[in-house]
Amino acid sequence: MQSLQRRKIKDIITGRVMLIFTAFAALLVILIAAGLLWKAWPLLSLQPLSDLLFSSVWKPQKGDFGFYPFIIGTFWVTGVAMVIAVPLCLLTAIYLAEYAPRWLSQLVKPVIDLLAGIPSVVYGLWGILVAIPAVKWLASWLGVATNGYNVLTGGIVLAIMVFPVIISISEEVIRSVPHGMREVPIALGSTRWQATKLVVMKGAAPGILAAIILGFSRAFGETMAVLMVVGNVARVPHSVFDPAYPLAALIANNYGEMMSIPAYDAALLFAALLLMAVVFLFNIGAGFILEKLEINYGI
């Protein structure tokens, strides 16, 4: 009897401790957002939010802080990265989980995981040495003039950086689909690819969506590698061969030097708040889509 009571007390204490740590993690996000808002408030009190978000004029010395080129540049680079990364990562994850022999999977998986541990500055150097010349050659072949520091180069570097996140999670999710879900369509005459495409991928869809969300979050906030290859020109890009200036690169390039200028300091912290808000909204939207998938398709 006493042993049962002790176990109940331990369960209660453990539950309370985990609740405290969970609340702390959630509170930390709120505190970070509140701190950024507080530091950015001097700028918000000077300019309307619509001007900050949709103006393309960036002249800090004159008090003009138009974030539109930086916001669009961030979405351009991240979008190109995800367009490159998602198909390649999903096909790789499907092959490793469904088709690759065990020895090959055990050989390739640690190599892919190793990509996650490479410092971002190394990716940036690789981009300068390899990706930029390759993009310049492609642009010249297409008849486009560029120095290689552009959206496409940044997207290629970012795509490689998110490979390990999306591949590793997607592979584990695909492997976790019950084996019986594969056997039933094959027994009915479907090919292995049809079973994978129509049954396994449907069952793995929520986990794959989560992997893509994590990859997007990693790409959207990446700083150093993008800063080194994207060009850092404060204007709205109109093609993948145009330079861009993502929000994270703006903060990294200017924050240390501009802390003595209150409005500039507030503008850079507002850029950080924008990054956080976009990732938060994207996660909320993805959660909504995931809920719809579960309701409509029973996954």
Taking the C-alpha atoms of residue 73 and residue 67, their distance in angstroms, rounded to an integer, is 10
Q: Please report whether residue 269 resides in a domain.
A: yes
Burial track 201-216 (b if 16+ CB lie within 10 A, e otherwise) = bbbbbbbbbbbbbbbb
Cβ-based burial of 281 (10 A; exposed 0-12, middle 13-18, buried ≥19): exposed
Tokens (6 digits) for 125: 């150097």
Taking the C-alpha atoms of residue 32 and residue 280, their distance in angstroms, rounded to an integer, is 13
- Among 245, 84, 224, which residue's Cα sits nearest to residue 155? 84
Compute CA 256 distance to the chain's CA centroid, rounded to the nearest angstrom: 25
Find the domain containing 115 and state its range: 49-297
Q: Please report whether residue 98 resides in a domain.
A: yes
Each residue's pLDDT tens digit, 120-154: 889 999 999 999 999 999 999 988 888 889 999 99
The number of domains in the chain is: 1
Q: Please report whether residue 18 resides in a domain.
A: no
Q: Please report whether residue 32 resides in a domain.
A: no
The C-alpha R_g of the chain, in whole angstroms, comes to 23
Looking at per-residue confidence, does 55 or 257 come out higher? Answer: 55
Q: Please report whether residue 37 resides in a domain.
A: no
Predicted local confidence at residue 113, as pLDDT:
82
- Among 232, 240, 71, which residue's Cα sits nearest to residue 155? 240
pTM of the model: 0.85
Q: Please report whether residue 194 resides in a domain.
A: yes
Q: Please report whether residue 268 resides in a domain.
A: yes
Average pLDDT over residues 262-290: 82
Mean pLDDT across the chain: 85
Q: Please report whether residue 136 resides in a domain.
A: yes
- Among 278, 216, 223, which residue's Cα sits nearest to residue 250? 223
CATH of the domain at 194: 1.10.3720.10
